[in-house]
Amino acid sequence: MTKQAAAASSDKGTTYLAYIGHRHNGSSLLEMAINKRPWWQMTSDDSRTDWNFCWSQKAFDWDSFYGRAPGAPKQVLNRIRGNGGITIKDRLVVNMRKYAKAAKLDPSKPPYLPMSFIVTVAGEDDEPSKVDNGLKHDYELRALRDAAEAYNQKGEKMWIVKPPPANRGRGIHVFKTLKQAESFLKQKKPNSTWVVQKYMEDALLIDGRKFDIRLLVLLTADKRLFMYRDSYVRTAGVKYDPTIVTDQAMHLVNDAIQSKFKETYGMYEDCNKMSLDDFRKHLAENPLPSGRFLSVDTDLWPQMRESVAHVFCCGQGHFVPPPPNSSMFELFGLDFMVDEAGRAILIEANSGPALCRHGRVLEDMMPRLLEETFQKAVDTILPPPAGATLPTTLDCFEEIAVLAPPVSGCADRLAAAEKADEKAASHSPPRPRSAVNPEAVVKRLFAAAAPTIEELAARARARREREEKAVAAARLLFHAAQEARHNAIAASQTLKLNAETDTLSRFDALSQTDVLSRLPLLKRPAYVERQRVWAHVGDEHVPVGVTFGSGLLVAGRIPANRRIPLGMSTIHVVS
């Protein structure tokens, strides 16, 4: 704090204390904003907990924050707990899938996201049958390979691999084919999870170089959502060449990556940053491959606005409310790429975006961004004392409507019941209503409908037991059928021709009784008529029409891993 600010503070009386982490992301910009408010004091002592406002970009003690004593002073934190639901790459993929299904989104409209899959490296304890090429052979891997085959037919073969929790471009690799990506992943730590995305081979370029739009988004404590109009464009320092996948300066536009390459950093734009106004001029002079001119204001901005609304609607279910007498807000950085069709595609959402002032664009924009963030997120909760004068009001944030979460089946039924009650009430005298909070009712209904972890675990154990019993029955059936066949062949060679029919009938009845007595799960009677049984083990198929006695007939071929009805059980035949 400056001497002038300190003197003014002593005159008016200090009202609030701000903790600004030493050399944290954006700490110098916050100090500039607080120095304009003489009723604030600053500290960088991380042992103090009596602060009113905390700006920290490192590990935070959530237990202390939520365990404060009742009546403690009001506190404002620059972080929202649970933001990982949209800022961690694999969670964003999974949660947006669920959200899109619940909200019944049209895939031809925003939000546009790249085709993404969650691939897990096989562990040492995984069954060999569930591992393929060093990766867990689950639904995600099968879907990824199907998608890769479809893209191959279109001539698009490149994929990009990202570690979910990393940022600043760390751990990201580009591959020419999915096979190369799988070879890379299988060497990674067992049971580690990776995001595999379709690489944008049709990305729009600026003078032959890749770029993205870093859109700054503010979510305040009162759930107001803002997009910053003076967001900026990040550019690559090397012209794009799809035959080269190892050059990070060509494929990744993160400032942490580009600044490493001193020979190309700033070669085209100052510190590889372009303002949206300069980007508008570029689009006005360079049409799309289709000949159409793209506009930031009428094409890209509305698409990004709709994507932001959907992403943060999805995130509402993951954000954790603050403790009493406390508030949380956060500044996010969303990265959008533009394809040759003019679509703004959301690549990822970042918590704690870089607030460095590299280049003239950020040198001018960043102080204004943090000042307006403080005005909208802090001054509204911790107002100045009477007679104090606030800095000049800024208005570069555009507020957008926060969407209501998609209606689930439970809430839908509740709404229908309420409509029925209203209709009945219109034809009869109103009934007295109890003072019940409707939100609490909905929460109870959801809690009743959602199974607990113990119930899910019990269901999984029961399912595994049923499958194990079915597999054991199928194996026993196959071995018993083989044994009966060999015995029948051996016995038939010793029978006399004149007694062949009678002897075979007696042997068939004995072998049938022996087989069925060893299959208690089937619960068959002592005598059954001839029935068809489908048997398949591994890659072997029993020939059509082979008969084992008068009770079992093995016939036909079936695909692997099919469920086959047999008596009272359902058998999943495996090798």
Q: Say which CATH number the domain at 134 has.
A: 3.30.1490.20
Q: Is the pLDDT of residue 71 over 90?
A: no
Are 186 and 126 in the same domain? yes
457 occurs within a structural domain: no
Q: Which of 47-56, 68-77, 87-96 has the lowest mean pLDDT?
A: 68-77
Residue finishing a domain among 170, 199, 228: 199
Are 267 and 188 in the same domain? no
Which pLDDT value is given to residue 440?
52
Q: What is the CATH number of the domain that holds 320?
A: 3.30.470.20
Residue at token pair 């993951």: 318
Q: What is the CATH number of the domain that holds 15?
A: 3.40.50
> In the sheet where 75-77 sits, what is the strand order?
40-43, 16-20, 53-55, 75-77, 326-328
* Cα first-last separation, the chain: 74
Distance CA 310, CA 326 (A): 26
Distance CA 59, CA 75 (A): 17
4-13, 385-394, 421-430, 479-488: which is most confident = 385-394
Q: Any idea what DSSP says for residue 339?
A: B
Are 102 and 248 in the same domain? yes
480 occurs within a structural domain: yes
437-449 b/e (C-beta count within 10 Å ≥ 16 → b): eeeeeeeeeeeee
Which pLDDT value is given to residue 564?
42
Find all residues with CB under 8 Å of 282, minimum gap 6, and list them: 206, 274
Model confidence over 376-396: pLDDT tens digits?
999 999 999 988 889 999 999
Are 264 and 390 in the same domain? yes
Which pLDDT value is given to residue 58?
81
Task: Provide the CA 220 distance to its chain's centre, in angstroms.
Answer: 23
Are 563 and 483 in the same domain? yes
Longest dimension (CA), the chain: 125
Q: Which of 158-167, 291-300, 495-504, 547-556 has the lowest mean pLDDT?
A: 547-556
Which pLDDT value is given to residue 547?
38
218 occurs within a structural domain: yes
455 occurs within a structural domain: no
Are 137 and 249 in the same domain? no
Task: Provide the CA 111 distance to its chain's centre, in angstroms.
Answer: 14
Are 270 and 177 in the same domain? no
**DSSP per-residue string spanning 91-149:** HHHHHHHHHHHHHT--TTSSPB---EEEEEBPPTTS-GGGEETTEE-SHHHHHHHHHHH
Give the containing element (helix H, strand E) for 517.
Answer: helix 500-517
Residue 218 region by backbone torsions, left for phi larger than 0, else alpha for psi between -120 and 50, else beta: beta
456 occurs within a structural domain: no
SS (H, E, C) 437-497: CHHHHHHHHHHHHCCCHHHHHHHHHHHHHHHHHHHHHHHHHHHHHHHHHHHHHHHHHHCCH
Are 194 and 206 in the same domain? no
Helices (H), 227-300: 248-251, 255-258, 276-285
Give the containing element (helix H, strand E) for 337.
Answer: strand 330-338
Task: Provide the CA 561 distance to its chain's centre, in angstroms.
Answer: 30
294 occurs within a structural domain: yes
Q: What percent of the chain has pLDDT over 90?
A: 57
Mean local confidence (pLDDT), 321-331: 93
Residue at token pair 């989104």: 105
Q: Is the pLDDT of residue 529 over 50?
A: no
**CB 186, CB 134: distance < 8 Å:** yes
Mean pLDDT, rounded, of the chain? 81
Which pLDDT value is given to residue 453?
65
Q: Which of 185-199, 381-395, 470-484 has the lowest mean pLDDT?
A: 470-484
Are 84 and 208 in the same domain? yes
Residue finishing a domain among 183, 199, 215: 199
**CB 221, CB 328: distance < 8 Å:** yes
3-state secondary structure of 63: helix
Model confidence over 415-440: pLDDT tens digits?
666 666 666 555 544 444 444 454 55
Q: Is the pLDDT of residue 162 over 60?
A: yes
Number of domains in the chain: 5
286 occurs within a structural domain: yes
Q: Is the pLDDT of residue 21 over 90?
A: no
Mean local confidence (pLDDT), 24-50: 92
Model confidence over 438-455: pLDDT tens digits?
455 445 544 544 566 667
Q: Is the pLDDT of residue 575 over 70?
A: no
Confidence of residue 319 (pLDDT cuts 50, 70, 90): very high
Residue 387 region by backbone torsions, left for phi larger than 0, else alpha for psi between -120 and 50, else beta: left
Are 93 and 224 in the same domain? yes
Are 225 and 331 in the same domain? yes
Q: Is the pLDDT of residue 260 over 70?
A: yes
Total residue count of the chain as it appears in this document: 575
Q: Is the pLDDT of residue 234 over 80?
A: yes
Which pLDDT value is given to residue 69?
81
**CB 254, CB 168: distance < 8 Å:** yes
97 occurs within a structural domain: yes
Q: Is the pLDDT of residue 275 over 50?
A: yes
3-state secondary structure of 568: coil
Mean local confidence (pLDDT), 559-566: 44
Q: Which of 126-130, 161-165, 530-534 has the lowest mean pLDDT?
A: 530-534
pTM of the model: 0.70
Residue finishing a domain among 199, 222, 244: 199
Alpha carbon separation from 433 to 425, 430, 437 (Å, rounded): 12, 9, 11
Residue numbers of the domain that contains 157: 115-199
DSSP count for the chain of H helices, then E strands: 16, 25
Are 264 and 145 in the same domain? no
